[in-house]
């Protein structure tokens, strides 16, 4: 870099440039997580302009500057510029409080220019302040959005960071471009990952009442089950989006969850804020138009309980795993409600114990990963590393109790209603004993996926075990 360029101040945008996110959305989600009732005040604040909205939110939340998805290659470049003695300023439309928190964490900036509650420092307003402070063509500017073209028109040079296609050419039309930093990969695959389409496999539990009642070949019942599956899956994706957005800080400290699209900043939070309510409305519309009101009630209960889980239940020891077990079980209840099939006491009792075991598997796997990283407790949870042995005991016991329930069912007179050879069903007991034991063995060895049901669908041994169980039931008929 020439000595002339070294003497030119370097002005850095924050949202989308220094970080792969937007502080307005980040702080808005922190506000909602703190108290959902603030949603009713946000429109009133917005009437006073974006600067007032940002200031009101910033007054009520505390941003952790370390828990943001920084553009690492760009930050490394800034460090190199700083090491050469260059003056660097953070210039952002985010509120002053938020900007100062980020600047304090990064530790590279000589000064901060930000929105002050009255002026939204974006576009023309930002360009005007930079010209007043540094002079026309007296600064270089790092940006990522088309609104930054208004600043680049007055800058000596542009540094284009994380920009969409076409912005670099537009920047070159305004001034010289000294450097370009490519954005992280995004697109439909990233969006589908955020929707967790692969997790829709869990909603196959909706078909359990049909299979248990031997009605999978009944076409009207099967169609109702399929509609319920689609509606529940859309609702679940809405919940996943909301949960991921409300859990950003904890996810960014997790070894695997930090790679989720919102946590990593590869997908805009705006996508989630729009998609979550849209998916929920489509789900409710499907249920209202095509399925019994009982299913709609179950779907609504699932959504409300999941909201409660996202806003606080997941931080309560044992309440969280009991809630997860209930959310797994409610899928079976939803299948029964959609098809009109009466629920079996035995099925519900078996489900709650086996799903409690799997929910504890999920927590055990997360806590084990934290221990390997040298952490003493799970961020955003109430568990500590010392709880691992107890969790293993509770989880494996719950799994074995579910098999005891299965054995009692096989020995009850109820089984003769559905099976011509009920004694054959006894073979399910050793099969389930093997599978539950293996799941806990794999979890103890650190081989478990965050979600044990997803693990089971990908694990060859689990699939073979499931095939063996299906063969037993077929022979029993």
pLDDT tens, 247-258?
888 888 877 788
Question: Of 157, 181, 205, which closes a domain?
Answer: 181
Q: Which residues contact 377 (CB under 8 A, 6 or more apart)?
A: 370, 383, 384, 385
Using the 3D structure, point to which of 121, 156, 181 is the last residue of a domain. Answer: 181
Give the pTM: 0.85
**Above 90 in pLDDT, residue 58?**
yes
For 144-195, the pLDDT digits (tens) are: 999 999 999 999 999 999 998 899 999 999 999 999 999 988 889 999 999 9
Instruction: Please count the CA atoms within 13 angstroms of the CA of 418 that sit on its side-chain side.
Output: 17
227 in the same domain as 280: yes
Average pLDDT of the segment spanning 16-38: 93
Percentage with pLDDT > 70 across the chain: 97
pLDDT tens digits, 432-447 = 999 999 999 999 998 8
Q: What is the pLDDT of residue 6?
A: 65
Residues 155 and 221 in one domain: no
**Given this model, what pLDDT does residue 378 score?**
56
Q: Residues 253-267: what's their mean pLDDT?
A: 87
Does residue 322 share a domain with residue 360?
A: yes
268 and 383 assigned to the same domain: yes
Same domain, 167 and 217: no
pLDDT tens, position by position, 369-402: 878 777 656 555 678 888 899 999 999 999 999 9
Put the strands of the sheet holding 157-161 in their side by side order: 111-115, 88-95, 10-12, 140-143, 157-161, 176-181
Single residue among 181, 201, 223 that ends a domain in this structure: 181
**Are 169 and 238 in the same domain?**
no
Handedness of CA 319, 324, 329, 334 (dihedral sign): positive
Same domain, 138 and 210: no
Number of independent structural domains in the chain: 2
* Beta-strand runs (E) in 80-184: 88-95, 111-115, 140-143, 157-161, 176-181
Same domain, 192 and 173: no
User: In this predicted model, which residue has the larger pLDDT, 11 or 383?
Assistant: 11
Q: Is 158 helix (H, G, I), strand (E, B) or coil?
A: strand
68 shares a domain with 13: yes
Supply the mean pLDDT for the chain. 91
Q: Is the same domain home to 110 and 213?
A: no
355 and 274, same structural domain? yes
pLDDT tens per residue across span 207-246: 999 988 888 888 999 999 999 999 999 999 999 999 999 8
Q: Which domain holds residue 263?
A: 188-476
User: Averaged over 348-355, what is the pLDDT?
Assistant: 94
CATH of the domain at 73: 3.40.50.1000
81 and 222 co-located in one domain: no
Residue 398 burial (CB count, 10 A):
22
């Amino acid at each position: 870099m020439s000595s002339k360029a070294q003497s030119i101040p370097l002005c850095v945008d924050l949202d989308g440039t220094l970080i792969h996110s937007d502080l307005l959305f980040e702080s808005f989600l922190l506000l909602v997580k703190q108290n959902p009732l603030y949603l009713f005040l946000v429109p009133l604040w917005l009437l006073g302009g974006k600067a007032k909205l940002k200031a009101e939110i910033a007054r009520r939340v505390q941003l952790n500057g370390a828990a943001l998805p920084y553009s690492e290659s760009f930050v490394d470049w800034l460090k190199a510029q700083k090491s050469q003695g260059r003056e660097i300023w953070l210039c952002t439309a985010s509120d002053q409080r938020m900007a100062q928190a980020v600047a304090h964490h990064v530790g590279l900036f000589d000064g901060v220019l930000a929105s002050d509650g009255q002026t939204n420092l974006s576009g023309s307003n930002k360009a005007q302040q930079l010209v007043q402070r540094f002079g026309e063509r007296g600064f270089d500017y790092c940006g990522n959005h088309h609104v930054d073209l208004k600043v680049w028109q007055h800058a000596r040079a542009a540094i284009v960071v994380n920009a969409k296609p076409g912005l670099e050419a537009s920047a070159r039309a305004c001034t010289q471009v000294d450097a370009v930093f490519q954005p992280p990969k995004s697109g439909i695959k990233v969006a589908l990952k955020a929707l967790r389409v692969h997790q829709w496999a869990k909603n196959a539990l909706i078909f359990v009442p049909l299979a248990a009642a031997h009605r999978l070949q009944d076409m009207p019942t099967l169609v109702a089950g399929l509609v319920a599956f689609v509606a529940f899956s859309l609702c679940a994706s809405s919940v996943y989006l909301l949960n991921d957005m409300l859990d950003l800080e904890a996810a960014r400290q997790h070894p695997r969850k930090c790679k989720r699209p919102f946590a990593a900043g590869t997908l805009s939070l705006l996508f989630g804020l729009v998609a979550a309510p849209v998916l929920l409305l489509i789900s409710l519309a499907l249920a209202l138009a095509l399925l019994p009101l009982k299913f709609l009630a179950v779907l609504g209960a699932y959504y409300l309980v999941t909201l409660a889980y996202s806003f606080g239940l997941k931080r309560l020891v044992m309440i969280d795993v009991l809630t997860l077990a209930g959310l797994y079980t409610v899928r079976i209840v939803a299948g029964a409600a959609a098809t009109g099939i009466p629920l079996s006491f035995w099925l519900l009792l078996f489900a709650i114990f086996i799903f409690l075991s799997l929910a504890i598997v999920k927590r055990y796997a997360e806590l084990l990963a934290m221990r390997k990283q040298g952490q003493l407790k799970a961020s955003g949870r109430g568990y500590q590393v010392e709880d691992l042995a107890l969790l293993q005991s509770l989880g494996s016991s719950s799994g074995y109790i579910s098999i005891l329930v299965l054995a009692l069912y096989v020995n009850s007179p109820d089984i003769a209603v559905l099976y011509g050879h009920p004694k054959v069903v006894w073979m399910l007991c050793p099969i389930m004993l093997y599978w539950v034991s293996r799941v806990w063995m794999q979890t103890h060895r650190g081989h478990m996926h965050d979600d044990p049901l997803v693990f089971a669908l990908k694990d060859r041994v689990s699939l073979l075990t499931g095939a063996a169980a299906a063969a037993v039931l077929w022979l029993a008929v």
